[in-house]
Structure formats: C-alpha cells, structure tokens
C-alpha cells in the first residue's frame, strides 16, 4: 500500500487512454468473478468518502461488465422506524455474501462515523460504542473467512465544489444533489475531523483502509480496480469451449408474418 499523499500534478487522463486501461482491468474483473464462483469465495467491498468523491462512478466501473448476481451492489436507504430498533449492524449483516458472491457496499455501517456523527443523528455514546466495537466486528468478519476490503475516496475542496456546481446546473445530474449533500458541503472540516477519527479507530491490520485520491475520476477508478485485483489472489479458471448448437427447423413457419398488426415502437432513430 502506498503511504505517500499522491502526486496532484498529473494532468487529467484522456478518455481514450482511460477506456483502453479500463477494458483490460474489466477483463481481469471477469476472471476474478469466475474464480470467486469456482472457489466459493465470500467478499465485501466497502466504499466510503465525501459526497461527490466519485464512489458511484467507481462502483459502476467495477460492476458494469460483471454478473450482478456475483458482484451484488448494496446501497441501503435511511433506516426505517423498525430498523432503528434493531442492532445497528443488523440491516447490513443481512446483506452479507454467501459463497461465490462479492457484495459492494455503496456506503455502509460507517454512516455512523460520518454523516450520523457530524449531523447529530446519533448520540455521543452511540458513536463511542461504534468506534470501540467496529474493529472487533470487522475482525470477526475476516476470521469467519470473508474477504473485507475498505476504500475511502478522497476528493479535494475545489474539485468537490466543481462537481456540486455541475450537479446544480446539469439537469442530468440534479438528481444526485440532496439536501444532505449541501449540508456536507457546508461542514467540510467537521467531516474532515470525522474522517480522521474514523481512520484512527478502524484502520486495523485485519481490515485496513485504502485511500484513493479521486480529483481525477478516471485515474481514481483505474487505481481502485487495479488495487482491488491485487488484494485478491485469484487465478484463471479454465472453461470449456463454447459452440452454438444447430438450430432445429422442426415446426418452421414465417414467425415475422404473425407479428403483423401488433403495436411496434416507432423507429425514430
């Protein structure tokens, strides 16, 4: 794992170069997927970070070419009244992987260390209990045989502001902007302190945090995928050659003529 702060002087990666590297990495993700199913591996990938840090785009780059039944995305809404009476981690544990699954959490139990703490949605005692219990909880996850990988996407102030402004002005992105996003923008340093305290309490040997610089979204996605692949020692699983069978002509008829008069979508493009 790299310990330095990263080089912020690199120019933003061009789309053509990005897509070339992404295709290679996504091919490797498909190999990882096949190995996970073959070996019955259970894995959890946690994505956390500030609002507009690029979590959604990174997750999409990971999952868009693989089987959603193997790479299962979990993005839970705010807890219901019933869930609020349960153990805090209960609704997350219900989503944990079975054999042959990788569960990707778009935000996770770390809500308590972030938005809940900063915005006062939990008590000080609840926050303290989380910080004390979370390392033991994650240690138990790992000892049970589940691979646990945690990524924190770190975006700078100027880049976050640029992305928020883009969401405000672009109707295709406005759905991404919530009242809570605006609150997080206004409380930058409160979230910074919450991040620092979270890392101090939960960056454990069994499940360390991996920080991804994400001002350049394309580089961040590639770096994250490459690091993910390096963390899981997968192997290529041989597969039988596939050959399409010969189509039977039994019962042959004009199967397009029978569609005449049905309601077709207008071909405007």
The tens digit of pLDDT for each residue in 121-163 reads 999 999 999 999 999 999 999 999 999 999 999 999 999 999 9
Q: What is the extent of the structural domain holding 211?
A: 15-239
Asked if residue 5 is part of any domain, the answer here is no
- The CATH number given to whatever domain includes residue 99 is 3.40.50.300
Asked if residue 86 is part of any domain, the answer here is yes
What is the spatial distance between Cα 50 and Cα 115, in angstroms, rounded to a whole number? 10
Contact 150, 208 (CB under 8 A): yes
Sheet holding 209-213, edge to edge: 71-74, 101-106, 42-49, 147-154, 209-213
Query: Binning pLDDT at 50, 70 and 90, where does residue 4 land?
Result: very low
Q: Residue 9 pLDDT > 70, yes or no? A: no
- pLDDT at position 62 is 98
- pLDDT at position 10 is 84
Query: Binning pLDDT at 50, 70 and 90, where does residue 77 land?
Result: very high
- pLDDT at position 18 is 98
DSSP 19: H
Asked if residue 265 is part of any domain, the answer here is no
What is the spatial distance between Cα 265 and Cα 269, in angstroms, rounded to a whole number? 11
Q: Residue 5 pLDDT > 90, yes or no? A: no
Q: Residue 7 pLDDT > 60, yes or no? A: no
Asked if residue 264 is part of any domain, the answer here is no
- pLDDT at position 6 is 47
Average of pLDDT values for 173-192?
A: 91
Mean pLDDT of the chain: 95
Pairing of strands 147-154, 42-49: parallel
Percent of the chain with pLDDT over 90: 91
- Length of the chain (residues): 269
Average of pLDDT values for 34-51?
A: 97
Tokens coding 207: 């499940």
Asked if residue 269 is part of any domain, the answer here is no
- pLDDT at position 8 is 55
Q: Residue 88 pLDDT > 60, yes or no? A: yes
- pLDDT at position 3 is 46
Q: Residue 261 pLDDT > 80, yes or no? A: yes
- pLDDT at position 183 is 86
The structure tokens 């209960």 sit at: 90
Number of domains in the chain: 1
User: pTM value?
Assistant: 0.92
Tokens coding 142: 């790992």
Q: Residue 66 pLDDT > 70, yes or no? A: yes
Q: Residue 83 pLDDT > 50, yes or no? A: yes
Asked if residue 68 is part of any domain, the answer here is yes
Asked if residue 125 is part of any domain, the answer here is yes
pLDDT in tens, 189-198: 999 999 999 9
Cross-strand bridge partners of residue 213: 154
Asked if residue 196 is part of any domain, the answer here is yes
């Amino acid at each position: 794992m790299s310990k330095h702060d990263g080089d912020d002087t690199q120019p933003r990666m061009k789309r053509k170069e990005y897509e070339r590297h992404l295709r290679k990495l996504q091919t490797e993700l498909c190999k990882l997927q096949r190995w996970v199913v073959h070996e019955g591996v259970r894995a959890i990938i946690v994505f956390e970070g500030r609002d507009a840090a690029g979590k959604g785009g990174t997750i999409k780059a990971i999952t868009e070419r693989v089987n959603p039944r193997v790479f299962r995305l979990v993005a839970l809404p705010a807890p219901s009244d019933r869930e609020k009476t349960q153990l805090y981690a209960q609704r997350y544990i219900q989503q944990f992987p079975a054999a042959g699954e990788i569960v990707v959490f778009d935000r996770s139990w770390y809500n308590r260390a972030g938005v809940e703490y900063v915005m006062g949605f939990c008590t000080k005692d609840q926050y303290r209990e989380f910080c004390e219990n979370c390392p033991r909880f994650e240690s138990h996850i790992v000892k049970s045989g589940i691979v646990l990988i945690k990524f924190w996407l770190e975006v700078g102030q100027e880049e976050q502001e640029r992305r928020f402004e883009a969401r405000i002005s672009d109707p295709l992105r406005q759905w991404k902007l919530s009242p809570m996003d605006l609150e997080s923008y206004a409380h930058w340093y409160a979230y910074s302190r919450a991040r620092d305290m979270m890392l101090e309490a939960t960056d454990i040997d069994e499940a360390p945090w991996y920080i991804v610089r994400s001002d350049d979204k394309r580089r961040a996605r590639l770096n994250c995928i490459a690091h993910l692949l390096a963390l899981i020692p997968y192997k290529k699983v041989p597969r039988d050659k596939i050959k399409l069978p010969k189509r039977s002509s039994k019962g042959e008829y004009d199967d397009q003529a029978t569609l005449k008069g049905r309601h077709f979508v207008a071909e405007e493009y």
